[in-house]
Amino acid sequence: MVLDPMQYGLGVLSGSLVGFALGMFGGGGSILAVPLMVYLVGVPNPHVAIGTSAFAVAINAATGLFDHARHGMVKWRCAGLYSSAGVLGTLVGSTLGKAFNGQKLLLLFAVLMLVVGVLMFRSRGNLGNAGAECTREKAPKVLGFGALTGIFSGFFGIGGGFLIVPGLIASTGMPIINAVGSSLVAVCAFGLTTALSYAFSGLISWPLAILFIGGGIAGGQLGCFLARRMSANKGVLNTLFASLIFVVAFYMIYRGVGQL
């Protein structure tokens, strides 16, 4: 797949937006990647958009993870359990996703986003327990949420990773800032697993992915900084997270219905 110079430039811009959102919202930032690839950059094949964004977002998530980890915002045991279960689910989900019509896949993704957005908005007043850890009693719940999230993440591309933050909160009770930091472990793991599956099918544009990553590294540093500042204000980060989901979901439904 060959794109024109303008499209590659838009790829850098898109990467910076996704990197910023990843740093601020964790897995939630990845919901922007596929829509930007399809509607702004103009990637004609939705499956190539999913595969390319999966790889690019995984690398950008790794840079954001490093920043959050430096400030002690990552709960490694929870992130490890969640990610290990999710990787297996991602392999199943990505195999199923490639068999579906690309446009219908995007529309289903948008509907799922609306459901999660409502749940996040309703929980905006819950600050969580800063001392929450993945104990033996919580482990089955964390593994179950991780596996289910992985299936959705692989099925919808890395955009499904926006389920990781609410999944970590629901299974452990941790504050959203810890869920954001910890989610980046899973975003990285899920993204690389999904990208590997799509790469074997020739569904990744490597030049576009590299430019996307370059823009994302810069945007990610700003996003991480703002997330730490906003986490002190009750409900602000949750509300912004839910609002982002609603905006992108409604736009995808608007575009998707017209193309069915």
> For 78-133, how does the pLDDT look when each residue is reduced to its tens digit (9 = 90+)?
999 998 998 888 788 878 777 776 667 777 777 877 887 787 777 666 666 777 78
Q: 245: pLDDT confidence band, cut at 50, 70 and 90?
A: confident
Residue 232: the pLDDT is 64
What is the total count of domains within the chain? 1
Q: 160: pLDDT confidence band, cut at 50, 70 and 90?
A: low
Q: What is the mean pLDDT of residues 159-168?
A: 73
Contacts of 84-88 with CB under 8 Å at 24 or more apart are 84/143, 84/146, 84/189, 85/142, 85/143, 85/144, 85/146, 85/147, 85/150, 86/146, 86/147, 86/149, 86/150, 86/153, 86/164, 86/186, 86/189, 86/190, 87/150, 87/189, 87/190, 87/193, 88/147, 88/150
Q: What burial class does residue 236 get, using C-beta atoms within 10 Å of its C-beta: 0-12 exposed, 13-18 middle, 19+ buried?
A: middle
For 150, half-sphere exposure in the C-beta direction (CA atoms, 13 angstrom radius) is: 28
Q: At residue 167, does pLDDT exceed 80?
A: yes
Residue 226's domain comprises 5-259
Q: 249: pLDDT confidence band, cut at 50, 70 and 90?
A: confident
